[in-house]
């Protein structure tokens, strides 16, 4: 059974009786102002993927290493990497992106929830950096100290940098390849290209070769490879977007604080709010057609960004502002004009 994730607007639309087109989805942490995909050459749909299409060169320039493997989003690597090691002790933070724990556990590894991952004595340490959903950001220097300690005893450090593109100075990408170090990257968050299912594993050949054999040929479709290569080469868009996202994230934080939802963490793509009534707030927002990401342990909500620019932007921000105000003022969905009666959601 799959774990819950953000972005399930169709499920929410059915549950709450609100048409899919009327939702403001801020549940995913995906850049709502994605890299602008151009019209694609028609023949891309007829060709098998080829390494000579420019993607590997674009990725090597962007990440600072040629030791990388394209994968169908970092999720494909997350599910496969545990198969490369015999069952051992794996340390992870909690909360963090839950698919890491699920994957290692499914392959017989023993999970250790460790708040002090930098001091862990586990065989494998998995760090999401910046963490999802808390936003905790580890410095490269402190992670390299951890890596050196792990390598001395045959251990492994896995760093999931899915949300790193806005803060590349913290990345370990340019430190690759090193034995005992695996870095995961994705175009789904910062670039807003989650549907392309394009990501990379940065690691030594001793890791990349067996991983490639497990994943099989053509992990990324030809059109997605084409789009990923173009996006990775668009440095002007990347620089502009880093500034835009930082400003939007600060605006979101200020808005949440104004309504009594002070973030406990976050980054440029989301803010994380801990509150005992998280489930109630999640439902009240959903009854207004705004989808957030609900976490049970600890009780908390992740708020992604509304549109940060363009014609849709100010309307989306105003809508979220009003909905947050309703959360603290006894909002009754049956009083909302034109709204269908909603259904309960947890």
CATH number at residue 273: 3.90.1150.10
The answer to whether residues 187 and 229 belong to one domain is yes
The answer to whether residues 228 and 240 belong to one domain is no
- In this predicted structure, the answer to whether residue 260 has a pLDDT above a threshold of 90 is yes
User: At 218, which CATH number?
Assistant: 3.40.640.10
Going by pLDDT thresholds of 50, 70 and 90, the confidence category of residue 2 is: very low
Last residue of a domain, one of 212, 233, 254: 233
Q: Give pTM, 2 decimals.
A: 0.90
Q: How far apart are CA 116 and CA 32, in angstroms?
A: 33
What is the model's pLDDT at position 343?
Answer: 32
The answer to whether residues 75 and 108 belong to one domain is yes
What is the model's pLDDT at position 308?
Answer: 59
Last residue of a domain, one of 182, 217, 233: 233
The answer to whether residues 82 and 182 belong to one domain is yes
What is the model's pLDDT at position 311?
Answer: 57
Domain presence at residue 343: no
- In this predicted structure, the answer to whether residue 88 has a pLDDT above a threshold of 50 is yes
What is the model's pLDDT at position 92?
Answer: 96
The answer to whether residues 173 and 320 belong to one domain is no
The answer to whether residues 83 and 223 belong to one domain is yes
Q: How far apart are CA 209 and CA 205, in angstroms?
A: 6
The answer to whether residues 174 and 252 belong to one domain is no
Question: Among the listed ranges 14-28, 80-94, 133-147, which one has the minimum average pLDDT value?
Answer: 14-28
Q: How far apart are CA 107 and CA 263, in angstroms?
A: 35
Mean pLDDT computed over 155-167:
97
The total number of structural domains that make up the chain? 2
Range of the domain at 74: 42-233
Domain presence at residue 2: no
Handedness of CA 92, 139, 141, 188 (dihedral sign): positive
Domain presence at residue 74: yes
The answer to whether residues 55 and 131 belong to one domain is yes
What is the model's pLDDT at position 334?
Answer: 40
- In this predicted structure, the answer to whether residue 345 has a pLDDT above a threshold of 70 is no
The answer to whether residues 186 and 107 belong to one domain is yes
Cβ contact 166:190 at 8 Å: yes
What is the model's pLDDT at position 340?
Answer: 34
What is the distance, to the nearest Å, from the Cα of residue 316 to the centroid of all Cα atoms in its chain?
22
Last residue of a domain, one of 209, 233, 257: 233
The answer to whether residues 27 and 74 belong to one domain is no
The 10 Å CB-count burial string (b at 16+, else e) for 312-338 is ebeebbeebeebbebbeeebebeebee
Going by pLDDT thresholds of 50, 70 and 90, the confidence category of residue 342 is: very low
Q: Does 133 sit behind a cis peptide bond, omega within 30 degrees of 0 on the bond before it?
A: yes
What is the model's pLDDT at position 338?
Answer: 31
């Amino acid at each position: 059974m799959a774990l819950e994730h953000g972005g399930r607007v169709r499920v929410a639309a059915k549950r709450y009786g609100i048409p899919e087109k009327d939702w403001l989805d801020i549940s995913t942490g995906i850049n709502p102002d994605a890299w602008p995909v151009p019209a694609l050459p028609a023949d891309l749909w007829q060709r098998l993927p080829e390494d000579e299409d420019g993607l590997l060169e674009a990725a090597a320039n962007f990440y600072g290493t040629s030791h990388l493997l394209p994968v169908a989003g970092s999720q494909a690597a997350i599910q496969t990497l545990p198969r490369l090691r015999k069952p051992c002790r794996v340390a992870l933070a909690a909360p963090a992106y839950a698919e890491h724990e699920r994957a290692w556990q499914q392959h017989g590894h023993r999970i250790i929830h460790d708040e002090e991952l930098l001091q862990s004595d586990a065989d494998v340490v998995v760090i999401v950096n910046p963490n999802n959903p808390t936003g905790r950001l580890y410095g490269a220097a402190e992670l390299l100290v951890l890596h050196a300690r792990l390598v001395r005893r045959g251990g492994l450090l896995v760093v999931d940098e899915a949300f790193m593109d806005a803060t590349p100075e913290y990345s370990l990408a340019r430190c690759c390849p090193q034995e005992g170090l695996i870095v995961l990257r994705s175009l789904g968050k910062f670039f807003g290209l989650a549907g392309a299912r394009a990501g990379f594993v940065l690691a030594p050949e001793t890791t990349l070769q067996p991983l490639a054999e497990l994943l099989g040929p053509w992990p990324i479709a030809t059109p997605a490879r084409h789009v990923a290569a173009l996006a990775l080469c668009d440095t002007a868009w990347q620089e502009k977007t880093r500034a835009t996202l930082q400003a939007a994230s600060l605006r979101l934080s200020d808005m949440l604080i104004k309504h009594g939802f002070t973030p406990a963490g976050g980054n440029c793509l989301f803010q994380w709010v801990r509150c005992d009534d998280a489930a109630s707030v999640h439902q009240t927002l959903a009854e207004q057609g705004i989808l957030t990401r609900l976490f049970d342990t600890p009780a908390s909500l992740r708020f992604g960004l509304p549109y940060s620019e363009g014609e849709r932007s100010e309307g989306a921000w105003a809508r979220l502002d009003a909905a947050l105000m309703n959360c603290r003022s006894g909002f009754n969905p049956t009083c909302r004009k034109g709204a269908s009666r909603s259904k309960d959601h947890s």
